[in-house]
Amino acid sequence: MAALRVLVGVKRVIDYAVKVRVAGGGVQTQGVKHSLNPFCEIALEEGVRLRERGAASDVIAVSVGTRVCQETLRTALAVGADRGVLLEVGEGAAVGPREAAAALAGLVGRLQPHLVLLGKQAIDDDCNQTGQLLAAMLDWPQGTFASRVELEEGAVRVEREVDGGLETLRLRLPAVLTADLRLNEPRYATLPNIMKAKKKPLEIIPASALGVPLPLPRLRVLKLEEPPARGGGQRVQGVPELLERLRSDGRV
C-alpha cells in the first residue's frame, strides 16, 4: 500500500484549564496561557501513528493564524510531525472556520495530501465546522467524529461516533477526517524529539498567497458576556411542589 502524505491541522487555543474571562467586549487572550487544541492533538497523534505503521510517509502540521502560532507548530513537530506550515494572517484578522477551511484548501492544492486530519472542533469556539467546510470546498468525502481509522488500498474505513451509536464508513481517498475524543490517547513529546524538532522545517506562507480567495467575514459578534453568576438553590417539599415551581419559572 502506497504511503500517504498526511496533513494535520493544529489550532492554537486558550489552554483548557484556564478560567476564561471576558474583558472589553471580547475574551481576554493577552498574557493568557495557550496550547494546542486537545482534539487537534488527537488528530496529530493519529497522523504520527500512521507514519509509525508505515501507512504515511509524511506528516505535515499546519496552522492558520498569526506568527505566534509557530509555537503550536513547534509543539506539533516535537510530538512527531515531519514539518510545519504556518498560513499566516495579519494581526487582528478574524479566522473562523470558513477562513481556516479556505486557507487549508489552498494548501491542499499546493501540497496534494492524500488525507487531511483535523480535530472535530476547537475548544474556544466549539464550531465543529472547519472539517466539513474544507471537505465541501475540496469536494472530498468526509469522516467526522472519527473514533477509529483504518487505511485500505486507496480508501479509509472510518468508525464515527454519531447520536445513534457507531457508524462505519468507507471513504475513497483523498478524504477529510475529524478526530473525536476516543480516537486515541495523545503521547507526550519526549526530550529527544523536542530537540529534533528544532531542525525540522517550519515554513511560513501568507494565507493570502495561496490562490484561494479568503472569504470576507460574514459574522459580526454583537455581544459577549460571561454566564450569569450561579444563584443559590432552594429546597422543595416534594415532587408536586417541584413541578409547580418548574411551571411557574417557565422551565416546563
From the CB of 9, what's the least distance to another protein, in Å?
20
**Contact positions with another protein (CB under 8 A) in 25-84:** 31-33, 71, 74-75, 78
Our CB check for another protein shows the closer of 234 and 248 to be 234
The reply to whether 15 sits near another protein by the rule CB under 8 A is yes
Among 93, 155, 194, 205, binds another protein (CB under 8 A): 194
Closest CA to 114 of 168, 151, 160: 151
The reply to whether 230 sits near another protein by the rule CB under 8 A is no
Among 1, 188, 225, 227, binds another protein (CB under 8 A): 188
Our CB check for another protein shows the closer of 19 and 230 to be 19
From the CB of 195, what's the least distance to another protein, in Å?
7
C-alpha cell at 242: 417541584
Q: Which residues contact 48 (CB under 8 A, 6 or more apart)?
A: 59, 79, 80, 81, 187
Our CB check for another protein shows the closer of 17 and 216 to be 17
- In this structure, are residues 180 and 147 in contact, taking their beta carbons and an 8 Å threshold? yes
From the CB of 209, what's the least distance to another protein, in Å?
25
Using the 8-state DSSP alphabet, how is residue 58 labeled?
E
At 206, the amino acid letter reads: P
Q: How far apart are CA 120 and CA 116, in angstroms?
A: 12
Among 19, 218, 223, 230, binds another protein (CB under 8 A): 19
Stretch that binds another protein, among 138-146, 162-170, 173-181, 191-199 (CB under 8 A): 191-199
- Local structure of 22: helix, strand or coil: strand
What is the DSSP secondary-structure string of 82-143?
SEEEEEE--TT----HHHHHHHHHHHHHHH--SEEEEES--TTT----HHHHHHHHHT--EE
Q: Please state whether beta strands 12-14 and 34-36 pair in parallel, antiparallel, or not at all (unpaired).
A: antiparallel
Among 168, 190, 201, 217, binds another protein (CB under 8 A): 190
Among 192, 211, 213, 233, binds another protein (CB under 8 A): 192
The residues that touch another protein, with contacts defined as CB under 8 A, are: 14-15, 17-19, 21, 31-33, 71, 74-75, 78, 188-192, 194-195, 197-198
